Structure 1
Amino acid sequence: MLKRYETNSRLQWVGKAWEIRSAIRRIQREQGGSARLVDVLRPAKERSPAR
């Protein structure tokens, strides 16, 4: 079971490696296939609007 903990300055994912990879890929697809990983994983308050 994947869990995501987020604070203003930190993002922590807890789960099996395949769950984390799958979640990252899903988020990248939602934000556009060319979304940069650093933008995808940045905590929500620091995230810039999707391009």
Structure 2
Amino acid sequence: MKHGKKPTARQKQLMTDEGLDCREWLVTKDTPDLMEIVNRESGRVKEIGK
């Protein structure tokens, strides 16, 4: 599994818009169409469309 990175301000806004707490998620992939994030504690992977 890839190591996640701290989200930027723009990425935090996308997470908040999806109803997620940005402090609990790390970004593993960020493309123009989609952002893949992983939970800090559970390791659950989630994809957010842009």
TM-score (norm 1): 0.31
Higher helix proportion? 1
TM-score (norm 2): 0.31
Higher strand proportion? 2
Who wins on radius of gyration, i.e. which is larger? 1
